Amino acid sequence: MPAEGVTRYAGRVRLNPRLAALPTYPTVAIDRVRDALLAAGRTVYDFGTGDPIEPTPPFIREALRWSIADNCRYPTVLGEPGVRVAFAGYARRRLGVTLDPATEILPTSGSKEAVFHLPLLVVDPNSPDRTVIFPDPGYSVYYRGAVLAGGHPCPQPLSGDYVQRIWELPVEVLRQTRLAWINTPHNPSGAVTSLDDLRRTWETCREHDILLVSDECYMDVWFDEAPASILQVPGALEPGSGVLAIYSLSKRSGMTGYRAGIVAGDRLAIAALRGLRTNPGLAPQDFVNTAAAAAWSDDVHAEERRLLFGAKRKLLVDFLESVGLTVTASEASFYVWVRAPGGDGDAFAARLLEAGVLTNPGSFFAVTAAGRDHVRFALVPDLDGCRAAVEAMRAIL
């Protein structure tokens, strides 16, 4: 990640040193590069930040519009039942699992804030056993949330197939761990963890009383085979299992700006999390929950979007492979993960910029050296944009 601290502050008050030590947030860094290119009059094919450009389906926008009450009063942490009932329906259809909307589902303001706040549930900054395990490269909020909660961040370096195998970590690390993050389908690599490996991951966490949270926010963006969920592992929904899963409507339904996520799983952990979230009052607005309920109740639009992302992915992968590049993992998610020629992701991302193609070098997602030999393309431009980007890359590769 870029070494520069995120918070430049010239005043006299003493900032939290943990905050000052964090590197620039990757999307901030990549958006700066894009803005500089645009300011220089360059054409930019923006595969940088994973924010889809396809419109939110009209029925979702309508649901939001009509649900704004005359007086929008404080939302509660649990929210109205509608969104939880709708998510339970989705979980039954998509995953074949039965969730109790009253006790096993919580709405969140996007999944990012849930990822950020979850360490506060289990991390005791004064205790030696305060380790938080997360995939590296990975979504940078696992690291940031662990650091700011006073946890001990433990990146698990991934390579090869980019599947995270927690059971391979030393037992001394597992003994010190309170929270383990896994992410399937994985950002940035698109790797998918099998049901059997999910089961093994949970067995390892259970043995060491670790809260296991599976970030499954790309569950509905897949290309050949629908990914498995931690919630499908037999026993994962037993009270006290220590298993939670995180979902999002950002990519599934084109709702990044609405901030609509879900945490589901072990009812004891959900009850504790609900209590935690009353402190800052973390609760999506009722009108967002209504729009989210509409989105979780419909699979047709999600399937249309999935096929569209698949078409973009095919275009990109076919081209990259035709010029001799290696696409790694990339079985699902909103991303294509490409090995850089010569093994230097930063240099390759800079070279792609010559063609106006903006990607994220693997270093943006890594705390260790893992993944720095790759770049990530987010499937953002429309099909015509992808075709134009392919032609621009053809000229320089």
Ligand X SMILES: Cc1ncc(COP(=O)(O)O)c(C=O)c1O
* Per-position x/- string for 40-59, each x denoting binding to ligand X as judged by CB under 6 A, each - no binding: ----------x---------
DSSP annotation of 95:
I
112 near ligand X, rule: CB under 6 A: yes
Pick from 87, 139, 223, 364: which binds ligand X (CB under 6 A)? 139
- The stretch near ligand X (CB under 6 A) out of 104-112, 122-130, 267-275, 341-349 is 104-112
What is the closest distance, in whole angstroms, from the C-beta atom of residue 193 to ligand X in the complex? 13
Q: Which residues are paired to 131 by β-bridges?
A: 152, 177
187 near ligand X, rule: CB under 6 A: yes
146 near ligand X, rule: CB under 6 A: no
Q: How many residues does the chain have?
A: 397
367, 1 contact by CB (below 8 A): yes
- The stretch near ligand X (CB under 6 A) out of 95-103, 111-119, 271-279, 340-348 is 111-119
Q: How far apart are CA 77 and CA 246, in angstroms?
A: 16
181 near ligand X, rule: CB under 6 A: no
115 near ligand X, rule: CB under 6 A: yes
What is the closest distance, in whole angstroms, from the C-beta atom of residue 164 to ligand X in the complex? 12
Output the CA–CA distances (angstroms, integers) from residue 369 to 157, 186, 257, in the order listed.
8, 17, 32
Dump the DSSP string for 149-192: TT-EEEEEE--TT----GGGS-HHHHHTEEEEEEESSPTTT---
Pick from 24, 111, 176, 360: which binds ligand X (CB under 6 A)? 111
Pick from 101, 110, 137, 190: which binds ligand X (CB under 6 A)? 110
- The stretch near ligand X (CB under 6 A) out of 33-41, 105-113, 190-198, 280-288 is 105-113
Closest CA to 87 of 357, 10, 95, 311: 95
Output the CA–CA distances (angstroms, integers) from residue 213 to 41, 60, 87, 106, 270, in the order listed.
44, 28, 18, 14, 12
360 near ligand X, rule: CB under 6 A: no
215 near ligand X, rule: CB under 6 A: yes
Q: At what angle do helices 300-322 and 383-396 cross, to 10 degrees?
A: 10
The residues of the shown chain that bind ligand X, judged by CB under 6 A, are 50, 110-112, 115, 139, 183, 187, 215, 217, 248, 250, 256, 261
